[in-house]
Structure 1
Amino acid sequence: MRRKVRIEHARRLAVARQRLSGSRPKPITTDHIHELVQAIGCLQLDPTAVVARNHLLVVFSRLGPFDPKLVDALLWDERRLYEYWAHRASIVPTEDR
Structure 2
Amino acid sequence: MNPKELIVKCYAKQEEGEWVAVCLDFCLATQGSSLDEVKRKLEEQIAFYVDEALQDQEYGNQLLARRAPITQWFEYYFIRLTNMIYPNTSVVFDEMLPLRLA
- With structure 2 as the length reference, what TM-score do the two structures score? 0.24
Q: Which has the higher contact order (CA 8 A, sep 6+)?
A: 2
- Give the TM-score normalised by structure 1: 0.25
Larger proportion of strand: 2
Higher-Rg structure is 1
